[in-house]
Amino acid sequence: MQNGKKYKRLTPEEILVKIEKMKKGRLKIYIGAAPGVGKTFQMLRDAYDLKEKGIDVVIGLIETHGRKATAAEIKDLEMIPQKNMNYKGRELQELDVGAIIKRNPDLVIVDELAHTNVPGSKNKKRYQDIQEILDAGIHVWTAMNIQHLESVRDIIKQVTGVKVNERVPDVVLSEADEVEIIDVTPETLRERIKDGKIYSKEKVQQALNHFFRRGNLVALRELALREIADDIDERLEKERSDDGIEEPSGVHEKILVCIKYRPNAEKLIRRGWRMARRLNAELFILHLLTKPADKMSLQEQKTLHEWEQLAKQFQAEFLLKHSPVRKVANEIVEICRQYKITQIIMGMSARTRWEEIFKGSIIHVIMRKLPYVDVYIVSDR
């Protein structure tokens, strides 16, 4: 043992996971801070370079958005015809996963990772289509913008005022074999827009005055660079673990996010995930049911299911416990002790000042009974 490092023997299960991963295709994601930075352009250029070296490369789907420079990079790359889909009397086209697997190239280009498929498609999202292709042993290159990452949804809304509906689970990015950031300065991107290289001339001024304001682009660029830096840290740590190197361990962080039926519930879950990711911590999501399950409304049941799905995306353990309203604080304390929680994330209390005087503050009870646990209160705004 040297420099505090020690080597561990892989378990049979870990060896099996490695073998299975070797059979799958490799995923590369080109990511940018905003539309127009040149993700698709660079992806096509890199793909053509591989074709010139004798690699069997095809295009499964590409979105040029009418940009001539991007379209020119397709050159003579083979394109797999898309599948025709009829939706509400309209003929639409989607990625033909079956045709790609049958063609069996070395590498396929599939643009717009965050895309939602036409209703009636086998998979709801394009990243699920890509997973099928990878499982067939075909390498995939794809592209996305930072605003489509699930965990940054609330940050994007706060910075740009835009609510992003098409989102990609963070695990898709973290499990990609390679991530390349396509970075340009805000000034360069705004110049491209002014020159009509990104949008038609009638849309230029609107774009510059809204989403593509310089302040927005600076914030989005910083967010993209920070996410990629975090991703690199995770990959380095995983590589060391895969090589059997164990670092000296300190306190293992465990984060508990407490949610209830309020608009900020999903925001709290995303905040918890981002903190857990940076601390390499386990994440737990807790909801306390204060009434019997058969008394829940349909909307409450739907919301509960959505929370469970979001927790699953973030690889968090979803805890659902029954508790009388007056015992909420004590229930949280017991769960923290049971799971050895080190940090708690909560929204602001909905209790009035008078309710806190007569019923007590939930947060104060938790802090008094768990002095070793850090408690973070997240604003509703």
Concatenated DSSP letters of 169-203: -HHHHHT-SEEEEE---HHHHHHHHHTTSSS-HHH
Q: How many helices (H) and strands (E) does the chain have?
A: 15, 15
Task: Provide the terminal-to-terminal Cα distance of the chain, rounded to the nearest Å.
Answer: 50
Instruction: Give dist(CA 377, CA 50) in Å, integer.
Output: 51
- Cross-strand partners of 179: 29
**Percent of all residues in the chain with a pLDDT value above 90, rounded to a whole number:** 68
The one-letter code for the residue type at 330 is N
What average pLDDT score do residues 3-15 get? 59
Backbone conformation region of residue 201, classed left if phi is above 0, alpha if psi is from -120 to 50, else beta: alpha
What are the pLDDT digits (tens) for 126-150? 999 999 999 999 999 999 999 999 9
What average pLDDT score do residues 249-261 get? 82
What are the pLDDT digits (tens) for 32-87? 999 999 999 999 999 999 999 999 999 999 999 889 999 999 999 999 999 999 99
- Is the per-residue pLDDT at 5 higher than 60? no
As a whole number, the mean pLDDT across the chain is 88
Domains with residue ranges and CATH for the chain: 6-241 (3.40.50.300), 254-378 (3.40.50.620)
The one-letter code for the residue type at 68 is K
